[in-house]
Amino acid sequence: MRVACGAGCLDGLANALARAGVGRPLICCGPTLARDPGGLARLLGFLDGVVCTVFDGVTPHSTIPSVTRAVGLAREAGVDGILAFGGGSAVVTARAVAIGLAEDAPFHALATRAEGGRIVSPRLARPKLPVFVVQTTPNTASVKAGTAVKDTETGRRLPMFDPKTRTRVLFLDPVFLNATPQEVIRLAALQTLSQTVEGLAAETPDPFAVAALRHAMDLLSEALPHSDSPDRAMILSQAAVLTGEATDHTGGGAIAAALSHTIASVLDLPTGAVAAPILPHTIRFNAAAGGRTLQRAFGGEPSAACRDLIAAAGGPLRLRDVGVPQDSLPAIAETAMSDYFLSRNPIPVTESDVLLDLLRTSY
Protein backbone atom coordinates (compact mmCIF):
# COMPACT_ATOMS: atom_id res chain seq x y z
CA MET A 1 0.00 0.00 0.00
CA ARG A 2 1.15 3.53 -0.79
CA VAL A 3 0.11 6.65 1.12
CA ALA A 4 -0.18 9.98 -0.69
CA CYS A 5 -0.34 12.72 1.91
CA GLY A 6 -0.60 16.50 1.98
CA ALA A 7 -1.64 19.41 -0.18
CA GLY A 8 -1.86 18.48 -3.84
CA CYS A 9 -1.81 14.72 -3.24
CA LEU A 10 -5.05 14.24 -5.19
CA ASP A 11 -3.39 15.57 -8.33
CA GLY A 12 -2.06 12.02 -8.67
CA LEU A 13 -5.40 10.24 -8.16
CA ALA A 14 -6.30 9.69 -11.82
CA ASN A 15 -2.77 8.52 -12.58
CA ALA A 16 -2.82 6.07 -9.67
CA LEU A 17 -6.04 4.55 -11.02
CA ALA A 18 -4.62 4.37 -14.54
CA ARG A 19 -1.45 2.61 -13.37
CA ALA A 20 -3.67 -0.10 -11.88
CA GLY A 21 -5.64 -0.38 -15.12
CA VAL A 22 -8.73 1.29 -13.64
CA GLY A 23 -10.75 3.44 -16.03
CA ARG A 24 -14.30 2.79 -14.77
CA PRO A 25 -14.25 3.02 -10.97
CA LEU A 26 -17.17 2.73 -8.59
CA ILE A 27 -17.06 5.57 -6.05
CA CYS A 28 -18.50 4.55 -2.67
CA CYS A 29 -19.58 7.43 -0.44
CA GLY A 30 -22.38 8.51 1.85
CA PRO A 31 -25.22 10.89 0.99
CA THR A 32 -23.71 13.82 2.92
CA LEU A 33 -20.51 13.89 0.88
CA ALA A 34 -22.49 13.29 -2.29
CA ARG A 35 -24.57 16.43 -1.67
CA ASP A 36 -21.75 18.65 -0.44
CA PRO A 37 -20.37 20.92 -3.21
CA GLY A 38 -16.97 20.58 -1.55
CA GLY A 39 -17.32 16.80 -1.37
CA LEU A 40 -18.08 14.54 -4.31
CA ALA A 41 -18.10 17.42 -6.81
CA ARG A 42 -14.57 18.39 -5.77
CA LEU A 43 -13.38 14.77 -5.93
CA LEU A 44 -14.73 14.35 -9.46
CA GLY A 45 -12.70 17.38 -10.46
CA PHE A 46 -9.57 15.26 -10.01
CA LEU A 47 -11.04 12.50 -12.22
CA ASP A 48 -11.58 14.38 -15.46
CA GLY A 49 -11.85 11.85 -18.29
CA VAL A 50 -12.42 8.92 -15.93
CA VAL A 51 -15.79 7.16 -16.30
CA CYS A 52 -17.11 7.08 -12.73
CA THR A 53 -20.15 5.31 -11.32
CA VAL A 54 -21.27 6.75 -7.98
CA PHE A 55 -22.86 4.76 -5.18
CA ASP A 56 -23.90 7.31 -2.55
CA GLY A 57 -25.81 4.94 -0.28
CA VAL A 58 -23.06 3.97 2.17
CA THR A 59 -24.59 3.38 5.61
CA PRO A 60 -23.01 3.35 9.09
CA HIS A 61 -21.55 -0.08 9.82
CA SER A 62 -21.89 -1.13 6.13
CA THR A 63 -25.24 -2.89 6.23
CA ILE A 64 -25.83 -5.89 3.96
CA PRO A 65 -28.74 -4.26 2.06
CA SER A 66 -26.58 -1.22 1.28
CA VAL A 67 -23.59 -3.29 0.19
CA THR A 68 -25.82 -5.54 -1.91
CA ARG A 69 -27.19 -2.51 -3.76
CA ALA A 70 -23.65 -1.29 -4.39
CA VAL A 71 -22.61 -4.70 -5.75
CA GLY A 72 -25.58 -4.67 -8.13
CA LEU A 73 -24.74 -1.17 -9.36
CA ALA A 74 -21.08 -2.08 -9.85
CA ARG A 75 -21.96 -5.22 -11.78
CA GLU A 76 -24.44 -3.36 -13.99
CA ALA A 77 -21.91 -0.61 -14.76
CA GLY A 78 -19.05 -3.01 -15.46
CA VAL A 79 -16.64 -1.23 -13.12
CA ASP A 80 -12.98 -2.21 -13.00
CA GLY A 81 -11.97 -0.71 -9.66
CA ILE A 82 -13.41 0.76 -6.46
CA LEU A 83 -12.71 4.14 -4.86
CA ALA A 84 -13.83 4.67 -1.27
CA PHE A 85 -14.51 8.30 -0.40
CA GLY A 86 -15.29 9.05 3.23
CA GLY A 87 -14.74 7.45 6.61
CA GLY A 88 -14.51 3.88 7.85
CA SER A 89 -17.92 2.77 6.60
CA ALA A 90 -17.14 3.92 3.05
CA VAL A 91 -13.85 2.01 3.14
CA VAL A 92 -15.41 -1.16 4.53
CA THR A 93 -18.25 -0.93 2.01
CA ALA A 94 -15.73 -0.67 -0.84
CA ARG A 95 -13.93 -3.81 0.32
CA ALA A 96 -17.22 -5.65 0.81
CA VAL A 97 -18.25 -4.71 -2.73
CA ALA A 98 -14.97 -6.14 -4.05
CA ILE A 99 -15.71 -9.38 -2.19
CA GLY A 100 -19.36 -9.47 -3.23
CA LEU A 101 -18.50 -8.99 -6.91
CA ALA A 102 -15.95 -11.80 -6.89
CA GLU A 103 -17.27 -14.48 -4.54
CA ASP A 104 -20.38 -16.38 -5.61
CA ALA A 105 -21.84 -16.79 -2.13
CA PRO A 106 -23.87 -14.83 0.44
CA PHE A 107 -21.91 -12.85 3.03
CA HIS A 108 -23.00 -15.22 5.81
CA ALA A 109 -21.15 -18.05 4.06
CA LEU A 110 -18.02 -15.92 3.60
CA ALA A 111 -17.79 -14.65 7.17
CA THR A 112 -15.26 -15.67 9.80
CA ARG A 113 -17.03 -17.69 12.50
CA ALA A 114 -16.53 -19.91 15.52
CA GLU A 115 -16.78 -23.65 14.89
CA GLY A 116 -16.07 -26.31 17.49
CA GLY A 117 -14.18 -23.95 19.75
CA ARG A 118 -11.95 -22.49 17.04
CA ILE A 119 -12.11 -19.53 14.65
CA VAL A 120 -12.68 -20.46 11.00
CA SER A 121 -12.09 -17.91 8.23
CA PRO A 122 -13.15 -19.10 4.77
CA ARG A 123 -10.55 -18.66 2.04
CA LEU A 124 -11.77 -15.97 -0.36
CA ALA A 125 -9.57 -17.04 -3.23
CA ARG A 126 -11.01 -15.29 -6.26
CA PRO A 127 -9.27 -12.19 -7.71
CA LYS A 128 -10.61 -8.84 -6.47
CA LEU A 129 -10.90 -5.44 -8.10
CA PRO A 130 -8.32 -2.93 -6.83
CA VAL A 131 -9.46 -0.64 -4.01
CA PHE A 132 -8.36 2.97 -3.52
CA VAL A 133 -9.24 5.31 -0.66
CA VAL A 134 -9.68 9.07 -0.26
CA GLN A 135 -10.05 9.32 3.50
CA THR A 136 -12.03 12.02 5.32
CA THR A 137 -11.74 10.74 8.92
CA PRO A 138 -8.84 9.35 11.01
CA ASN A 139 -9.89 5.70 10.72
CA THR A 140 -7.73 2.57 10.69
CA ALA A 141 -10.03 0.75 8.24
CA SER A 142 -8.25 2.32 5.28
CA VAL A 143 -5.14 0.19 5.75
CA LYS A 144 -6.75 -3.09 6.80
CA ALA A 145 -7.58 -6.30 4.94
CA GLY A 146 -10.55 -7.14 7.14
CA THR A 147 -14.14 -6.27 6.37
CA ALA A 148 -17.34 -6.53 8.39
CA VAL A 149 -20.88 -6.04 7.14
CA LYS A 150 -23.90 -5.67 9.40
CA ASP A 151 -26.81 -8.10 9.30
CA THR A 152 -29.73 -5.73 9.85
CA GLU A 153 -32.02 -8.55 10.96
CA THR A 154 -29.83 -9.61 13.89
CA GLY A 155 -27.63 -6.54 14.41
CA ARG A 156 -24.55 -8.78 14.24
CA ARG A 157 -21.34 -8.05 12.37
CA LEU A 158 -20.16 -10.55 9.76
CA PRO A 159 -16.36 -10.26 9.57
CA MET A 160 -14.45 -11.32 6.44
CA PHE A 161 -10.74 -11.34 5.70
CA ASP A 162 -9.10 -11.01 2.29
CA PRO A 163 -5.64 -9.44 1.81
CA LYS A 164 -6.48 -8.87 -1.87
CA THR A 165 -8.90 -6.12 -0.82
CA ARG A 166 -6.22 -4.10 0.94
CA THR A 167 -6.01 -0.48 -0.27
CA ARG A 168 -3.63 0.10 -3.20
CA VAL A 169 -3.19 3.85 -2.57
CA LEU A 170 -4.51 5.88 0.36
CA PHE A 171 -4.93 9.63 -0.12
CA LEU A 172 -4.85 11.97 2.90
CA ASP A 173 -5.99 15.31 1.53
CA PRO A 174 -5.97 18.16 4.07
CA VAL A 175 -8.91 19.97 2.45
CA PHE A 176 -11.23 16.97 2.78
CA LEU A 177 -9.97 16.13 6.28
CA ASN A 178 -10.40 19.68 7.57
CA ALA A 179 -13.91 19.90 6.12
CA THR A 180 -15.09 17.01 8.30
CA PRO A 181 -17.01 18.08 11.46
CA GLN A 182 -14.85 18.05 14.59
CA GLU A 183 -17.20 15.66 16.41
CA VAL A 184 -16.82 13.10 13.61
CA ILE A 185 -13.03 13.53 13.74
CA ARG A 186 -13.04 13.13 17.53
CA LEU A 187 -15.08 9.93 17.56
CA ALA A 188 -13.03 8.32 14.78
CA ALA A 189 -9.82 9.23 16.62
CA LEU A 190 -11.13 7.76 19.88
CA GLN A 191 -11.67 4.48 18.07
CA THR A 192 -8.08 4.73 16.81
CA LEU A 193 -6.97 5.35 20.41
CA SER A 194 -8.73 2.16 21.50
CA GLN A 195 -6.96 0.14 18.82
CA THR A 196 -3.60 1.74 19.65
CA VAL A 197 -3.98 0.90 23.33
CA GLU A 198 -4.94 -2.71 22.64
CA GLY A 199 -2.08 -3.04 20.17
CA LEU A 200 0.40 -1.89 22.81
CA ALA A 201 -1.21 -4.09 25.47
CA ALA A 202 -0.60 -7.15 23.29
CA GLU A 203 3.12 -6.93 24.25
CA THR A 204 4.22 -8.00 20.77
CA PRO A 205 7.91 -8.89 20.29
CA ASP A 206 7.83 -7.04 16.93
CA PRO A 207 9.93 -3.88 17.50
CA PHE A 208 8.64 -2.19 14.33
CA ALA A 209 5.01 -2.58 15.39
CA VAL A 210 5.79 -1.27 18.87
CA ALA A 211 7.65 1.73 17.45
CA ALA A 212 4.73 2.56 15.15
CA LEU A 213 2.22 2.22 17.99
CA ARG A 214 4.33 4.34 20.34
CA HIS A 215 4.54 7.09 17.74
CA ALA A 216 0.82 6.79 17.04
CA MET A 217 0.17 7.26 20.76
CA ASP A 218 2.38 10.35 20.78
CA LEU A 219 0.42 11.82 17.86
CA LEU A 220 -2.93 11.00 19.48
CA SER A 221 -1.85 12.54 22.79
CA GLU A 222 -0.67 15.64 20.94
CA ALA A 223 -3.71 16.19 18.72
CA LEU A 224 -6.78 14.77 20.48
CA PRO A 225 -7.14 17.56 23.08
CA HIS A 226 -6.71 20.41 20.56
CA SER A 227 -9.79 20.75 18.38
CA ASP A 228 -8.68 24.21 17.23
CA SER A 229 -5.43 23.02 15.63
CA PRO A 230 -5.45 23.33 11.81
CA ASP A 231 -3.32 20.18 11.54
CA ARG A 232 -5.38 18.09 13.95
CA ALA A 233 -7.28 15.95 11.42
CA MET A 234 -4.11 15.21 9.43
CA ILE A 235 -2.08 14.30 12.52
CA LEU A 236 -4.83 12.01 13.78
CA SER A 237 -5.12 10.39 10.33
CA GLN A 238 -1.39 9.72 10.30
CA ALA A 239 -1.75 8.10 13.72
CA ALA A 240 -4.56 5.94 12.34
CA VAL A 241 -2.36 4.73 9.48
CA LEU A 242 0.44 3.82 11.88
CA THR A 243 -1.93 1.98 14.22
CA GLY A 244 -3.79 0.23 11.43
CA GLU A 245 -0.61 -1.17 9.93
CA ALA A 246 1.02 -2.01 13.27
CA THR A 247 -1.96 -3.90 14.66
CA ASP A 248 -1.76 -6.27 11.71
CA HIS A 249 1.31 -7.59 13.56
CA THR A 250 -0.15 -7.60 17.07
CA GLY A 251 -3.32 -9.61 16.41
CA GLY A 252 -5.67 -6.64 16.06
CA GLY A 253 -7.93 -5.65 18.93
CA ALA A 254 -9.02 -7.41 22.10
CA ILE A 255 -11.79 -7.07 24.68
CA ALA A 256 -12.49 -3.36 24.07
CA ALA A 257 -12.78 -4.02 20.34
CA ALA A 258 -15.18 -6.91 20.90
CA LEU A 259 -17.45 -4.88 23.17
CA SER A 260 -17.40 -1.67 21.14
CA HIS A 261 -18.02 -3.52 17.86
CA THR A 262 -21.01 -5.27 19.39
CA ILE A 263 -22.57 -2.21 21.01
CA ALA A 264 -22.07 -0.03 17.95
CA SER A 265 -23.54 -2.59 15.59
CA VAL A 266 -26.51 -3.65 17.74
CA LEU A 267 -27.48 -0.11 18.80
CA ASP A 268 -26.33 1.68 15.63
CA LEU A 269 -23.94 4.00 17.47
CA PRO A 270 -20.52 5.37 16.41
CA THR A 271 -17.86 2.86 17.42
CA GLY A 272 -15.60 5.53 18.91
CA ALA A 273 -18.42 6.82 21.10
CA VAL A 274 -18.79 3.46 22.83
CA ALA A 275 -15.10 2.50 22.77
CA ALA A 276 -14.08 5.55 24.82
CA PRO A 277 -16.09 4.80 28.01
CA ILE A 278 -15.05 1.14 27.95
CA LEU A 279 -11.33 1.53 27.30
CA PRO A 280 -10.04 2.65 30.74
CA HIS A 281 -11.86 -0.26 32.38
CA THR A 282 -10.56 -2.87 29.94
CA ILE A 283 -7.02 -1.55 30.51
CA ARG A 284 -7.48 -2.15 34.24
CA PHE A 285 -8.96 -5.61 33.57
CA ASN A 286 -5.93 -6.64 31.49
CA ALA A 287 -3.35 -5.11 33.84
CA ALA A 288 -2.49 -8.52 35.32
CA ALA A 289 -1.19 -9.61 31.90
CA GLY A 290 1.67 -7.10 32.07
CA GLY A 291 1.24 -3.82 30.28
CA ARG A 292 4.77 -2.41 30.65
CA THR A 293 4.76 -1.20 27.04
CA LEU A 294 1.46 0.56 27.67
CA GLN A 295 2.81 2.17 30.85
CA ARG A 296 5.81 3.55 28.98
CA ALA A 297 3.56 4.88 26.21
CA PHE A 298 1.29 6.75 28.65
CA GLY A 299 4.08 7.79 30.99
CA GLY A 300 2.08 6.72 34.02
CA GLU A 301 -0.72 4.45 35.23
CA PRO A 302 -2.38 3.54 31.92
CA SER A 303 -6.03 3.38 32.95
CA ALA A 304 -6.07 6.80 34.63
CA ALA A 305 -3.91 8.37 31.90
CA CYS A 306 -6.23 7.02 29.21
CA ARG A 307 -9.29 8.38 31.00
CA ASP A 308 -7.61 11.78 31.33
CA LEU A 309 -6.79 11.85 27.60
CA ILE A 310 -10.37 10.96 26.65
CA ALA A 311 -11.68 13.68 28.98
CA ALA A 312 -9.23 16.24 27.56
CA ALA A 313 -10.48 15.37 24.08
CA GLY A 314 -14.08 15.96 25.14
CA GLY A 315 -14.93 12.29 24.70
CA PRO A 316 -17.65 10.38 26.60
CA LEU A 317 -16.69 8.65 29.84
CA ARG A 318 -19.89 6.66 30.55
CA LEU A 319 -21.95 4.41 28.32
CA ARG A 320 -25.15 5.98 29.64
CA ASP A 321 -24.03 9.30 28.14
CA VAL A 322 -23.99 7.96 24.57
CA GLY A 323 -27.44 6.39 24.60
CA VAL A 324 -26.74 2.80 25.67
CA PRO A 325 -29.81 1.46 27.53
CA GLN A 326 -28.90 -0.24 30.80
CA ASP A 327 -31.26 -3.14 30.12
CA SER A 328 -29.37 -3.93 26.89
CA LEU A 329 -26.13 -4.81 28.68
CA PRO A 330 -26.78 -8.56 29.31
CA ALA A 331 -27.64 -9.21 25.66
CA ILE A 332 -24.62 -7.20 24.51
CA ALA A 333 -22.35 -9.26 26.75
CA GLU A 334 -23.74 -12.51 25.33
CA THR A 335 -23.38 -11.32 21.73
CA ALA A 336 -19.82 -10.06 22.25
CA MET A 337 -18.71 -13.54 23.33
CA SER A 338 -18.74 -14.58 19.66
CA ASP A 339 -16.69 -11.59 18.45
CA TYR A 340 -13.40 -12.66 16.87
CA PHE A 341 -11.33 -10.06 18.73
CA LEU A 342 -12.29 -11.44 22.13
CA SER A 343 -10.14 -14.48 21.34
CA ARG A 344 -7.12 -12.13 21.12
CA ASN A 345 -7.48 -10.74 24.64
CA PRO A 346 -4.35 -11.16 26.84
CA ILE A 347 -6.51 -12.64 29.61
CA PRO A 348 -8.92 -15.33 28.35
CA VAL A 349 -12.61 -14.53 28.73
CA THR A 350 -14.83 -17.62 28.85
CA GLU A 351 -17.98 -16.32 30.56
CA SER A 352 -20.28 -13.51 29.47
CA ASP A 353 -20.61 -12.44 33.13
CA VAL A 354 -17.06 -11.08 32.89
CA LEU A 355 -18.10 -8.83 30.01
CA LEU A 356 -21.30 -7.85 31.80
CA ASP A 357 -19.31 -6.70 34.84
CA LEU A 358 -17.11 -4.55 32.59
CA LEU A 359 -20.13 -3.06 30.87
CA ARG A 360 -21.79 -2.22 34.17
CA THR A 361 -18.59 -0.61 35.43
CA SER A 362 -18.41 1.44 32.23
CA TYR A 363 -22.06 2.44 32.44
On the CB side of 121, CA atoms within 13 Å amount to: 13
Closest C-alpha among 193, 357, 348 to residue 281: 357
Q: Is the pTM of this model over 0.85?
A: yes
Helix (H) or strand (E) holding 120: strand 118-120
- Torsion, CA 4, CA 10, CA 11, CA 17, rounded to 10: 80
Torsion sign across C-alpha atoms 329, 334, 339, 343: positive
Provide the terminal-to-terminal Cα distance of the chain, rounded to the nearest Å: 39
Q: Which residues contact 40 (CB under 8 A, 6 or more apart)?
A: 27, 29, 33, 34, 54, 56, 85
CB 167, CB 131: distance < 8 Å: yes
Closest C-alpha among 38, 104, 33 to residue 54: 33
Measure the CA–CA gap between 326 and 348, rounded to whole angstroms: 25
On the CB side of 295, CA atoms within 13 Å amount to: 10
pLDDT value for 289: 81
Measure the CA angle with vertex 92, ends 69 and 45; round to 5°. 80
CB 171, CB 136: distance < 8 Å: no
Residue 72 Cα distances to 17, 53, 152, angstroms: 22, 12, 18
Measure the CA–CA gap between 236 and 188, rounded to whole angstroms: 9
What does 94-109 look like in DSSP terms, one character per residue?
Answer: HHHHHHHHH--S-HHH
Measure the CA–CA gap between 191 and 222, rounded to whole angstroms: 16
Closest C-alpha among 255, 136, 285, 261 to residue 191: 261
* Residue-level pLDDT, tens digit, the chain, 363 residues: 999 999 999 999 999 999 999 999 999 999 999 999 999 999 999 999 999 999 999 999 999 999 999 999 999 999 999 999 999 999 999 999 999 999 989 999 999 887 776 778 899 999 999 999 999 999 999 999 999 999 999 999 999 999 999 999 999 999 999 999 999 999 999 999 999 999 999 888 889 999 999 999 999 999 999 998 999 999 999 999 999 999 998 877 899 999 999 999 999 999 999 999 999 999 999 988 877 888 888 888 999 999 999 999 999 999 999 999 999 999 999 999 988 899 889 999 999 999 999 999 999
Domains in the chain (CATH in brackets) are: 2-175 (3.40.50.1970), 182-362 (1.20.1090.10)
